Each structure stands twice: as C-alpha cells, then as structure tokens.
Structure 1
C-alpha cells in the first residue's frame, strides 16, 4: 500500500508545534491487562487488535494516533518484567507487519550487480547525510551557543548510549558464526574490549557528566518523532528479513566517522577536556573497519532481488524518519534559543 502522506510529514503543524488533541482510541489499558501474569489469549488478542487499529490510523496520517502508537510500541521495546518479554516481542512483531503494509513503493527499482548496488547505496546515503541538515550546518560550521551544543548532545546520548543492543539483536539472526562474528567483533569494541571502563557508553557518559546531562532517559517525555526514530532502529534489527537491519546499521556506521569527527572538532572549539571528548575522538577513526566488514556480509546477500528491494526500502524509511526527527530537533533548538537569548 502506497501512502503519499503519513504522520512523518513534518509539514503537519500538529507535529511541528507538538500540540496533540484528544484521541479516543487507547490501547494502554488493554495492553496492561495483556501483560499481567496469567493473561489469557483473548486478552492478548484484544490488546493487539486495539494496537493495530491505532497504528493503522497513525500511519494513515492521524498525528495523535501516530504519537500514541509510537509510545505504546516503545513501551513494548523497553526492558520490562522478564515474564512479559515473549508477549511484548510478539505484539511488537505484529506492528512491524502493519508498518510493512504502509511502506511506500520504491521508484525506479532495478536489481544491480553487487558493485553497482554499493555505489547506489553509498550515493543514497551521501545524498541524505545529516551533515547537510540546517542543524548540522549551525553546529559544525557556525558558532553555536553552549546551550545549543548541550541540547544536541542530550539527544545524541538518547540515540547512542545503547547502540550495542542493536548489534546484539541483529547478530542473533545469523546462523553461521562467520556472519554473526561481524557484529560480535563490533560488540567487543563497544564493550571496551578487555576493560569495561573503556566501554563506549562509559566513555560517552564522561561527556554527559561534563555538560550536566542526565544519563537516565525519561522515555515517556520524548517527542513522538524521537520515539519513532528509536522504534524504527529496534524494528529493523528485529525484523525477520535481515536486509532491514543491515541497511539501518550500514547507514549509521558508514557516516559514523565523519559525524563523530565533526562533533569532536566542535567539542575542541569549546575547550572540552580530552577525557570528556574521547568517545567522539575514537569514533572519528575506527568505524571505517566496521563499515567494511559489514559490507562484505551485505555483499554475500546482495545478489538477490528481494534483498536489494528490502534493503532500499529500509533505507528509504530510515531517512524519512531521520529527516522528520532532525527537523523537529532543529525547531526545538531554535525555540530554546529564542526563549533564552
């Protein structure tokens, strides 16, 4: 089904302002019952039906339903009571199928030889890079005030601190150890190799401490478009078609070095100490190896038409959500600056 206008459309004033109206559909009470010990199949089914109705309306363009379904989906994704994990994962997987039904059709899709396919993928990523976004231009080519940098880093923490979980999720989809090892080697680095204190979340936490940014995320307070961004990352690495997860992680890793170098240079210009900047200094050099290893795995699967099609659909969805998310952050950053001259 091809939807030309969805809740990701940032021209919708309700999302730009963040003002949501009252919506009658609510899956929360039914989901709460479905996740209680001893819940019946009937209760789980009723919760799923309500959630899918909410998702369908949200994906059809209803911004309030979209916000609510993204909140419910994020709650299913977040760690909770162990006994609810199988049910939460199954409910989330059914939402993924609904989202698949609303995936826009690809324009001018053609199966390509692997070498040309990589050229197409890299060109698409280069064309949609965040470096060209107005917020990035402001931060990395202008003279941003400290409050804008802190705002950016706060949301960067939300995106980055648990990146390792995405690698772990995708690794489980590969039966052959030589394929899964691509992600395990990456995880080894994320975990700090032999020194836990050198783990990437630990290194990044030093920067959060320096800027006095809370390290505990209040997920309920996040903007719907930020929830959508986080949900899509989890959705892709859990998707039964590995093309979705590979496309997402390749898109993130392939631009990681340049993005982190720019952040490191920004921190240096502000006089941030080396200990607090180390996470970004490291990522400004080492992610190129991870990118190449990941591409070698992609190349093994890329000759198939289905793989290429799903891979490009995953990229298109990632960039659409990413654009809406960064537009929202840029608007919030400007609003904050206007209120605090």
Structure 2
C-alpha cells in the first residue's frame, strides 16, 4: 500500500484466494453468492454456529477457524455480500453471548460508585502492567523489538475511527451519538484531512519501514480474536458491549500513548513520525469524560451494569492472551 504525502488510505484486505473464506465450508461460500437461496443461507449459519460453539467450548482448531471466518466477515469486501456478512456475524455474536463471563460475584452498585468499580478493574488488568509493556517502556528494548511492537500496534490502531462510527449508529438520540461523532471528527483530522490520525500514525510506520498493507489471513488466531471482539462489541445491539470496550480503550489511552512517545524520544525518532503519540498522550481525557457521562445515563439499569462488566472481563481476557502471544513471539529464538 502506497500513501501520498497527505492522505492515509485504509489497507485493503487480502484477495480472496488468501482469505479465510477460501478454506471455509462450501455452504458458507455458497451463501455469500448474490443468488444464494434462504435454504443455503440457513445451512451456512447452522454450520458456522456449530463451529463457533465447538471453538468456544475448547476445540482449538474450531476456535481458530471460526475466528478466521468471522474476521473475514468483518473485513470490507464485495458490497453485494455485505448484508449477508453482517447478518452471519450477528448470529455468531449471539452464540458468543452464551459464553459471556459469568461474573458470579457481580453486584450492582449506585451509579456514583459504578465508575470506581470500572476504573479499579481497568487498573488491575491494564496492559501497562504486562511484562512486554514493562520491558518496552522501562527496559532497554532493541529497535527490532520496538518495530515488532509497532507493527502490531498498527494492526490494532489504524482503523479505530471505524469503531467510533459503528457505535455511534447504535444510538437513536443524536445527543448520545454526538459523543462519538465529536471523537470521530478529531480522528478524521477535523478540518485538515492530512492530519487524520491514521495518516499521522502511518508516518511512524513508514519511519520504521513497516508495511501498511495488512495480511489479515496470516494473523494468529489470538490476534484475530482481539480484532473480532472490538468489532463485535461496537456492532452489538446492546450498547453496553460497545461502551465498555471503548471506555476501556480510551480511559488508558493517554498513559499508553505517552509511554510510547517517551520510548520513541529515547530512541531519537523525529517529532514528525512521533506526532500521533504525542497528541494522544495529551488529548484523550476529554473523550473519556464525555463517554462516562453517557455510560452513567444507562448505568441505572442492573442489566446494563452486568453486561458492561461482562464485556470488560471478556476484553481483558482476550487482551491478556493476545499480549502474552506477542511477548512469547518477541522472546522466541525464531524472532531473534
């Protein structure tokens, strides 16, 4: 993927022969054809949901396959199949709901105490405490280690704006949706598109010679699960899933980006490529406060509180497994 000097393009997904659907059950391939019948669609859904249940019940091969298929359903593709892809993905979400964390010790609390409970959970499980983060931000990482971290940081971060847009659509009241539209306005560079956040971050990738094009099919299943969960949460019809996910991300954004910026400064990276992290190390607190006001509006409901905390628990379980994977790969002999 080649960028011009002013605009960052979203990396395109791999072509069909390299996608997960190339090895998907034939029923699913047939269901995505423009002339697919209802019977073909129903068969594909039944087989995909059975695969999902096996994966979530502990079958590692089924888990890897369903995460690969789900990511392919999430990625931009033929517009004609978009409605079918979204519907199939939504059915997978319903199965995943069945496996949501049980939270046996959950107790609803008054709204004014709910934020303290959320922030305590985030503080106890934040990735800042992960050994890989401690090594990168407090140790002496090699440039190769930093490049590896930033490569996966690009995969996680380049299209964050799309998560905001998806969640905004879940709210009927424009006053609620506006919380994300204001955030999205900043992500898009406000009145200056060449300063959009993907464009700024792409400059850092270019500095480290990290390809902007992402081969999604080649990603590890745990990384696919991380990406899928983000999309799932913001597309879910219950906004508690999306609000929890984005609050967890935004509430620690400043400290995470500030530490990356400080790491880049220690490495002597110029200000231009570092600007994305300099900005995010100072400006995300306003977005967090606005989001909390929206969360508080819904947190009168015990059901909302439980789902919010289930989403938070799932996010951190997936996040931990994903970061453990990256840390193992960074330490592995094949990497060095």
Which TM-score band (shorter chain)? over 0.9
Query: Which of 143, 148, 152 is 1:151 aligned to?
Result: 148
Aligned twin of 2:100: 103
- Residues 27 and 50, structure 1, Cα contact 8 Å, conserved in 2: no
Matched, 1:205 2:205: no
Matched, 1:263 2:260: yes
For residues 136-192 of structure 1, give each alpha carbon's deviation from its aligned partner in whole angstroms, at most 9, with x where no partner exists. Answer: 011000000000000000000000000000000000011111110000000000000
Q: Equivalent residues in 2 for 1:236-255 (5 A)?
A: 236-255=233-252
TM-score of the superposition, structure 1-length normalised? 0.91
Cα offset, 1:339, TM superposition: 3.8
Aligned twin of 1:84: 81
Cα offset, 1:340, TM superposition: 5.9
Runs of 5+ unmatched residues, structure 2: 1-22
Matched, 1:281 2:261: no
Query: Which of 147, 157, 162 is 1:160 aligned to?
Result: 157
In 2: Cα distance, 1:207 partner to 1:27 partner: 36
Query: Which of 189, 193, 198 is 2:190 aligned to?
Result: 193
Cα offset, 1:27, TM superposition: 4.2
TM-score of the superposition, structure 2-length normalised? 0.92
Q: Equivalent residues in 2 for 1:33-44 (5 A)?
A: 33-44=30-41
- Residues 55 and 66, structure 2, Cα contact 8 Å, conserved in 1: yes
In 2: Cα distance, 1:261 partner to 1:115 partner: 29
Aligned twin of 1:52: 49
Query: Which of 132, 136, 157 is 2:133 aligned to?
Result: 136
For residues 250-303 of structure 1, give each alpha carbon's deviation from its aligned partner in whole angstroms, at most 9, with x where no partner exists. Answer: 000000000000000000010001000000000000000000000000000001
Cα offset, 1:51, TM superposition: 0.6
- Residues 159 and 198, structure 2, Cα contact 8 Å, conserved in 1: yes
Matched, 1:175 2:195: no
- Residues 148 and 333, structure 1, Cα contact 8 Å, conserved in 2: yes
In 2: Cα distance, 1:236 partner to 1:340 partner: 33
Q: Please identify, of 189-198 and 42-51, the stretch whose mean Cα deviation from structure 2 is larger.
A: 42-51
- Residues 27 and 54, structure 1, Cα contact 8 Å, conserved in 2: no
Query: Which of 314, 319, 333 is 1:317 aligned to?
Result: 314
In 1: Cα distance, 2:76 partner to 2:24 partner: 19
- Residues 257 and 288, structure 1, Cα contact 8 Å, conserved in 2: yes
Q: Equivalent residues in 2 for 1:281-300 (5 A)?
A: 281-300=278-297
In 1: Cα distance, 2:182 partner to 2:280 partner: 15
Cα offset, 1:217, TM superposition: 0.6
In 2: Cα distance, 1:332 partner to 1:295 partner: 36
Q: Please identify, of 26-35 and 43-52, the stretch whose mean Cα deviation from structure 2 is larger.
A: 26-35
Runs of 5+ unmatched residues, structure 1: 1-25
In 2: Cα distance, 1:196 partner to 1:31 partner: 38
Task: Tell me how large the CA RMSD over aligned residues is.
Answer: 0.9
Q: Say which SS state the counterpart of residue 105 (structure 2) adopts.
A: coil
Query: Which of 52, 61, 65 is 1:64 aligned to?
Result: 61
